Amino acid sequence: MSWFQFSFPDFCYAFISILLEGVPFVLLGTLLSGLIDQFLPAKFLYRILPKNRGASILVSGLVGLVLPMCECGIVPVIRRLIRKGLSIPSAVTYMLSAPIVNPIVAVSTFMAFKGQSALEMTSLRLGLGYLIAVGVGFVVLRLKPETILRESALPDAEETDRHSHHEHEHEHEHEHAPGLATRLRLALAAAVTDFLDVIVFFVLGAMIAATFNTAVDQTVILPLALDTTLATFALMGLAGILTLCSTSDAFVAATLTAFPPVAKLAFLVFGPMMDVKLAFIYSALFRKRFVIGLAVALFLVIGVVCVRLSFLRL
Amino acid sequence: MTAIVRRGMSAVSLATWGAILTYFYVTRRVNDYLHPTFQIYVFLAGLVLLAMAAGTLLFPAEHTHEGEECCGHEHDRIRFSHWVAFFVLTVPVVVATIVSPSQFSATIVENRGIVSTLDGLPGAQARYAEPPLPGSTDSGEPVNTGDYLSRSADGVIQAEAVDLLYAAEDADLRKDFDGKEVEMVGQYMPAKANNPTGNRFNLIRMFVVCCAADARPLGIAVESTKSERPAEMSWLRIRGKATFPVEGGRPTPVIEAQSIEPAEPPEESFIY
């Protein structure tokens, strides 16, 4: 049997199921982004996050504990937060950590791995997820914003854009303190724009994910389970094409009993940070080169770290 | 492109998504796609999207920071061209909604491998640990478990694949099924492994954690003397004796079929 057998009806079935599962969360994220746009004061984040950028990254990696977001809905939220003054390194850290370092994922991972060193696996998942996200944040700290964000998402471009409104020939009075109804309407408009922007990428990602999800013979990776290194990278590859939600992926990982625990750990850390669907969603905010670099770096770093952790007897 | 056309395209896109999500929920077609936990979110999202579509048409924004209409003109900030984006937003989801058969083919079962032991059942470890299984108390004392079993009108135990997989692992639970007549509904797949006498096939049910994309085929072996085999993935109702022969060093659930009939798909095709 070939390792790749495409069936259009199966593709459509998986495609629709991914959409039905993910769209409500993308919508939630975009509604939240609209509210952030209109109701979160611009200086609010400056006040609550540490002024030191390194400390801000460290704190951002833990924000998911109080503001949990799934990987599907987080991009529109951080896009708005960046425009509201959140530094890009802190935003990237939050984006990568929140789908893992949050109480829902902690509970689901613990439940899924009962009888399989649940406490250790849960702690390692959250701990490694945090460290990887913070590490990426510190790397991003060294990069120029224009090498990370798409031009339209750059905070400066946004500011320029806003200022340019006042330079138009047909300028008129803008309300500086619009009423609640107006602000809600503007929040709706922002949410609509964000939803349509992100959902285009989500659809493309879901199409790729559905193709691999249905056409690839997933049993071909079973022989790789015997070698820790191959097993680790194979399960990360599997996470990349399965595009599971971080709240439920542990239940799937726990069934991969032929694979060593560190390979399952890699599956659980890599999957919520990067998969084919997320790569497209990230492209709504980040430059293509940054997304590719992030994917490669996460794949290699998480893989190597997990292989190095194989001395742990989980 | 005028702002009005652009606004109309946004509204149509939102309305398409809202209508499709609402349609899946109202017609209960969503049962074939999602775990029940997530189904209500589909309905709520559908309603919100329809409301957003109406709001986009009726209440055009006068001033946004996103580069839509502002001061009577618009800033082009969308990455794809508007028409390509409109196409991507509407056509694939509509086509997939029409084409999707609401169940996977045999290829998917082969690609994912049939789960025939509890080890491969998502969440089994958690459920196995607590709460206690019906066959035992916290202190390990056996209890009468007959009450939890659902039965047909003529008293035959209606078993699910999950029941038999758990029973294979737990001696107390196994007593409730072993040697008794059971009825099970599932999909036919040939047995390409674990078929020593060549008279077995698998009765499949898809087990879902989240959505159909993560569905795992659970298979119970059925022994039948009938040489005639139905089409792959067709729904069958099997009646027969549940047995647990030791194969590969562990009890393995096998139904010795007494009757095999075509069946309608159950209202909920997944098990959770």
Buried/exposed A239-263: b ≥16 CB within 10 Å, e otherwise: bbbbbbbbbbbbbbbbbbeebbbbb
Q: What is the mean pLDDT of chain A?
A: 87
pLDDT at B131 over 80: no
Q: Which residues pair with B255 in a beta bridge?
A: B222, B242
Whether residue A38 lies inside any domain: the answer is: yes
pLDDT at B143: 46
What is the domain count for chain A? 1
pLDDT at B26: 97
Domains of chain B, residue spans? 3-99, 106-271
Whether residue A254 lies inside any domain: the answer is: no
Largest CA distance in chain B: 79
- Please report residues of A whose CB lies closer than 8 A to that of B110: 1, 217
pLDDT at A237 over 70: yes
The answer to whether the bond into B266 is cis (omega within 30° of 0) is no
- pLDDT tens-digit profile of B138-176? 444 444 455 678 888 888 999 999 999 999 988 888 999
* pLDDT classification of B31: cutoffs 50, 70, 90: very high
Q: How far is A22 from chain B (nearest CA, A)?
A: 9
- pLDDT tens-digit profile of A208-224? 888 988 888 878 888 88
Q: Which of A10-19, A298-307, B222-231 is least confident?
A: B222-231
| Domain with A152 in it | 8-158+181-219+276-286
* pLDDT classification of B123: cutoffs 50, 70, 90: low
- pLDDT tens-digit profile of B35-85? 998 999 999 999 999 999 999 988 876 544 444 444 444 444 555 568 888
Q: List the alpha helices (DSSP H) in B27-81.
A: 36-58
Tokens coding B147? 């009450």
pLDDT at B72: 41
CA B81, B82, B86: angle at the middle one, nearest 5?
120
pLDDT at B147: 63
pLDDT at B128: 54
pLDDT at B223: 93
Is the Cβ–Cβ distance between B188 and B233 less than 8 Å? Answer: yes
Q: Which comes out higher in pLDDT, residue A51 or B70?
A: A51
CA B263/CA B230 separation, integer angstroms: 12
Question: Letter for the amino acid at A138?
Answer: F
Tokens 């999707």 belong to B100
Note whether B111 contacts A216, CB cutoff 8 Å: yes
pTM of the entire predicted model: 0.82
Q: Which comes out higher in pLDDT, residue A63 or A2?
A: A63
CA B38/CA A22 separation, integer angstroms: 10
- Please report residues of B whose CB lies closer than 8 A to that of A194: 66
**From the candidate CATH numbers 3.20.20.70, 2.40.50.140, 1.10.10.10, 3.30.429.10, the one assigned to the domain spanning B106-271:** 2.40.50.140
Q: Looking at chain B, which residue has its C-alpha nearest residue A193?
A: B66
Tokens 């492109």 belong to B1
- pLDDT tens-digit profile of A84-124? 888 999 999 999 999 999 998 999 899 888 777 899 999 99
Q: What would the mean pLDDT of B203-227 be, rounded to a whole number?
A: 90
Buried/exposed A177-189: b ≥16 CB within 10 Å, e otherwise: eeeeeebbbbbbb
Note whether A161 contacts B75, CB cutoff 8 Å: yes
User: Is A30 strand, coil or helix?
Assistant: helix
Q: Which of residues 73-132 of A touch B (CB under 8 A)?
A: 83, 111-116
Whether residue A169 lies inside any domain: the answer is: no
Q: Looking at chain B, which residue has its C-alpha nearest residue A196?
A: B10
Tokens coding B239? 């009646």
Whether residue A214 lies inside any domain: the answer is: yes
Whether residue A208 lies inside any domain: the answer is: yes
